[in-house]
Amino acid sequence: MSRKNQQLTPRQREARMGWTFISLWVIGFLVFSLVPLIQTFVFSLNVVTVTASGITLNFVQMANYTRALLTDPTFVGLLIGYVVETALSVPIVLIFSLTIALLLNLKFKFKGFFRTIFFLPVVITSGPVIQELTAQGATRVAGLADSATIALMIQELPSVLRAPVEYLLSSFILILWFSGVQILIYLSSLQKIDRSVYEAAAIDGANAWESFWLITLPALSTTTLINAFYTIVTLSHFSENKVIKYVYSQTYSVQGGIGYASAMSFIYLLALVIILALVTLLISYSARKSR
């Protein structure tokens, strides 16, 4: 070890090692993500024309953003639908993932086999596979979605509630397919909770339900936040996402263009950031209340 390293505190050496590990990611982000983001933002402020000689920019300030939010009902409707669907999907994924992780954390035979089964959809759910499964109706809750009684009840619902209920019935299985990574993250966190805490709680008279609410859930607050972030980001860039499909369709459309599509992309990014911020505040508040 060099003399300079010997003068560093353990915390400083740990920090240096951490920065060394993430340096490649930071460089990759700056080169392959930040530069395209800046370029896309420049496009969003212009009418972009692609010609044989190159790209021509006609500066229009915030006109593309104004058009997307005020004069394009299709985009606004899809954006609202995305927010509603995300608000419905994330709690379902988190609750399902935590439930399965709690079951897989128990001692029983073939535990590794069942872990593989729940993680397998993460491996096979590529774009073409999902498109084929969706086309064949494999993502629907068939018994409910095809019921005439349920269909009649849905028609009687207010328009605000009708779309979310239809989304749940048509995509419930697909939502659960997004739970594989979250299950493993929850499972790894559950295995790190000190068992002596549960033993002490049992001695004090706490039952399993009280231990879950007072020990397990507070201990998993950070893990829940990570899983919520992962779920939201995964749903937001999913190949079947209607907002992304619409932005793609407008990229080289006569009525749209690269500049207009870029503006919609940044509005979509802003909506994603707001959702992440709200989820962070909600989970952090819940974690503080439970302590």
Asked if residue 193 and residue 247 are part of one domain, the reply reads: yes
The answer on pLDDT for 89 being more than 60 is yes
**Is the model's pLDDT at 84 over the cut of 80?**
yes
Given this model, what pLDDT does residue 151 score? 64
pLDDT tens-digit map of 168-184 = 666 666 677 778 888 88
- 164, part of any domain: no
Counting beta carbons within 10 angstroms of the beta carbon of residue 14, is it exposed (0 to 12), middle (13 to 18) or buried (19 or more)?
A: exposed
- Tell me: do 19 and 70 sit in the same domain: no
Residue type, 147: S
Instruction: Kindly state the average pLDDT of the residues 275-281.
Output: 92
Question: Is 20 within the bounds of a domain?
Answer: yes
Q: Are residues 113 and 208 in the same domain?
A: yes
Partner residues linked to 51 by β-bridges: 54
**pLDDT, mean of residues 251-269:** 88
CA distance 27 to 47: 31
Mean pLDDT, range 148-157, rounded to an integer: 65
pLDDT at residue 200, as a whole number:
87
Domain of 26, in residue numbers: 3-44
Q: Residue 154: inside a domain, yes or no?
A: no
pLDDT of 7 above 80:
no
Residue 131 binned pLDDT confidence (cut-offs 50, 70, 90): low
Percentages helix, strand, coil for the chain (3-state, rounded to 5) are: 75, 5, 20
* pLDDT score, position 167: 66
Q: What's the whole-model pTM score?
A: 0.78
- Look at residue 227 in the predicted model and tell me its pLDDT: 93
| Distances in whole angstroms, Cα of residue 52 to Cα of each of 49, 233, 258 | 10, 37, 16
Q: Are residues 7 and 70 in the same domain?
A: no
CA distances from 60 to 50, 57, 155, 254, 263 (A): 16, 9, 43, 17, 12
Assign 228 a pLDDT band (cuts: 50, 70, 90): very high
Tally of CB atoms within 10 A around 217: 15
Whether 38 and 96 map to the same domain: the answer is no
Identify residue 35 by its one-letter amino acid code: V
> What does each C-alpha distance from 9 to 3, 12, 13, 14 come to in angstroms?
12, 5, 6, 9
Q: Are residues 97 and 203 in the same domain?
A: yes
Quickly count: other Cβ atoms within 10 Å of residue 95's Cβ. 11
Task: Say if 136 falls within a structural domain.
Answer: no
What does the alpha-carbon distance between residue 35 and residue 43 come to, in Å, rounded to a whole number?
A: 12
**CB neighbour burial string for 172-195, b if at least 16 within 10 angstroms, e if fewer:** bebbbbbbbbbbbbbbebbeeeee
- pLDDT at residue 161 greater than cutoff 60: yes
Residue 3 confidence (pLDDT) above 60: no
Whether 9 is in a domain gets the answer: yes
Whether pLDDT at 264 is above 90: yes
Tell whether the model's pLDDT for residue 276 goes beyond 90. Answer: yes
Alpha-carbon distance 187 to 98, whole Å?
Answer: 8
Choose between 153 and 189: higher pLDDT: 189
User: Is the per-residue pLDDT at 160 higher than 70?
Assistant: no
Kindly state whether residues 117 and 259 are assigned to the same domain. Answer: yes
213 and 247 both lie in a single domain: yes
Tell me which of 73 and 167 has the higher pLDDT. 73
CATH of the domain at 201: 1.10.3720.10
Higher pLDDT, 138 or 75: 75
264 and 228 in a common domain: yes
Same domain, 187 and 240: yes
CB half-sphere exposure, 206, CA atoms < 13 A: 16
**Closest by CA position to 165, among listed 94, 236, 85:** 85
Residue 166 within any structural domain of the chain: no
pLDDT of residue 120: 67
Total domain count, the chain: 2
Mean pLDDT of 229-243: 85
Q: What is the pLDDT of residue 159?
A: 65
Q: What is the pLDDT at residue 126?
A: 55
Residue 13: predicted pLDDT = 84
> Which is more confidently placed, 37 or 52?
37
